[in-house]
């Protein structure tokens, strides 16, 4: 039980998705009084009128609010008799995301959808007097050749890696908005920069998935078919840092509870691994014994990614808890049980 949440109503955009579902579960465990999960079929967050309707619905007394805003799993809100807009928190996780291939094929959509969702939602939240806004950025916002480890002060020292720059820049505009709204209006908006996430419930669709779920699926399907090799994009030399999804959810809620400053904050694990070592580790953990064939005609993406995670620990006490191989094992086991 966490007393911070006892009298709060919380909108979690993307709360039915990968990261959002873990955030909602942790909110319930913390004793949040009232949790709202807008779904895309009910609220298109790229549309200004849909955002206005969402906030209208969220500010209604619980007994007058549409039932479709409740999270799955039988959660029921508690009464908040003295509720005001200042007791409403928006945790904005909804995003259009994908791997390198999806970003290359849909750069305009990735830019427009992510920009429109975030900018309009934050603006209208400020207009309504919402108490706090938590915006999630992306490690893709960092310049292509950022010195390792990535420090938040380096965020503006160059252009992002080209394959996902439209997405990264759209998300980075929320940092500008959060800082300017805090400066001019005193609006409590914070901006977090998570590294690549992985874990159970991830997207395993080969057309849009990120590298870990893509490799897990390839290895398991090759085993089932008796295939002797799998193809991996690039040459294996880039490095990445990954954060287990439950750790990410914990970091987001700790920041919501304890952080109220204009500076962006990295959320990461502090563990860097090459794509080559990652692929070999996933092959080992899935039991795939065939060859890894590197398709060097495909892009590598950013050369290295590893974060300085000291600010998150200093400001709100966050450190990742799940070791990388343990997180991989959990993810593989989940996919084995749910792939059908």
Model pLDDT for residues 140-190, shown as the tens digit of each residue: 999 999 999 999 999 999 999 998 999 999 999 999 999 999 999 999 999
User: Across the beta sheet with 196-198, what order do the strands follow?
Assistant: 196-198, 239-244, 272-274
Q: What's the mean pLDDT when you consider all of the chain?
A: 95
The answer to whether the beta carbons of residues 204 and 268 sit under 8 Å apart is no
Other C-beta atoms within 10 Å of 62: how many? 17
- 139 CB-side CA count, 13 A: 28
**Which residues fall within 8 angstroms of residue 266, CB to CB, at 6 or more apart?**
150, 151, 152, 192, 193, 194, 195, 307, 308, 309, 311, 312
Average pLDDT over residues 106-127: 97
Instruction: Render pLDDT for 264-296 as a digit per residue (tens, 0 to 9).
Output: 999 999 999 999 999 999 999 999 999 999 999
Instruction: Render pLDDT for 49-100 as a digit per residue (tens, 0 to 9).
Output: 999 999 999 999 988 889 899 998 889 999 998 999 999 999 999 999 887 7
From CA 224, how far away is CA 130, in angstroms rounded? Answer: 51
Q: Helix H segments across the chain?
A: 18-29, 48-58, 100-105, 107-128, 165-185, 211-225, 245-258, 275-286, 310-316, 324-338
Whether the per-residue pLDDT at 1 is higher than 80: the answer is: no
Other C-beta atoms within 10 Å of 100: how many? 20
The answer to whether the beta carbons of residues 133 and 119 sit under 8 Å apart is no
Task: From 185, 142, 178, select the one nearest 160 (Cα to Cα).
Answer: 142
Instruction: Render pLDDT for 326-336 as a digit per residue (tens, 0 to 9).
Output: 999 999 999 99
Residues known to be catalytic: 167
The helix (run of H) or strand (run of E) holding residue 292 is strand 291-295
The answer to whether the beta carbons of residues 290 and 227 sit under 8 Å apart is yes
Whether the per-residue pLDDT at 138 is higher than 70: the answer is: yes
Give me the residue spans of the domains in the chain: 3-202+241-272+305-323
The architecture CATH gives domain 3-202+241-272+305-323: 3-Layer(aba) Sandwich (3.40)
Higher-confidence residue of 97 and 122: namely 122
- What 3-state class would DSSP assign to 317? coil
């Amino acid at each position: 039980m966490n007393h911070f949440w006892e009298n709060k109503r919380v909108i979690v955009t993307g709360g039915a998705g990968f990261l959002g579902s873990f955030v909602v579960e942790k909110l319930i465990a913390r004793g949040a009084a009232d949790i709202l999960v807008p779904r895309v079929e009910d609220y298109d967050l790229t549309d200004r009128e849909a955002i206005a309707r969402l906030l209208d619905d969220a500010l209604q007394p619980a007994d007058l609010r549409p039932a479709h805003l409740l999270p799955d799993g039988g959660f029921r809100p508690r009464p908040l008799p003295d509720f005001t807009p200042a007791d409403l928190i928006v945790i904005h996780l909804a995003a259009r995301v994908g791997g390198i291939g999806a970003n290359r094929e849909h750069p305009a959509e990735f830019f427009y959808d992510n920009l429109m969702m975030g900018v309009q939602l934050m603006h209208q939240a400020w207009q309504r007097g919402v108490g706090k806004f938590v915006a999630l950025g992306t490690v893709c916002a960092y310049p292509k050749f950022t010195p390792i480890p990535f420090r938040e002060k380096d965020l503006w020292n160059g252009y992002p890696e080209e394959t996902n720059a439209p997405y990264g820049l759209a998300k980075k505009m929320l940092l500008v908005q959060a800082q300017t709204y805090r400066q001019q209006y005193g609006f409590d908006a914070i901006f977090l920069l998570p590294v690549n996430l992985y874990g159970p419930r991830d997207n395993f669709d080969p057309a849009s998935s990120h590298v870990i779920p893509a490799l897990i699926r390839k290895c398991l399907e090759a085993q089932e078919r008796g295939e002797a090799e799998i193809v991996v994009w690039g040459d294996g030399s880039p490095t990445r840092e990954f954060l287990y999804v439950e750790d990410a959810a914990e970091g987001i809620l700790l920041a919501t509870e304890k952080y109220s400053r204009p500076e962006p904050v990295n959320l990461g694990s502090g563990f860097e691994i090459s794509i080559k070592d990652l692929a070999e580790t996933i092959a080992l953990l899935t039991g795939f014994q065939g060859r890894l064939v590197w398709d060097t005609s495909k892009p590598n993406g950013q050369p290295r990614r590893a974060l300085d995670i000291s600010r998150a620990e200093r400001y709100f006490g966050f450190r990742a808890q799940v070791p990388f191989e343990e997180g991989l094992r959990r993810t593989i086991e989940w996919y084995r049980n749910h792939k059908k």
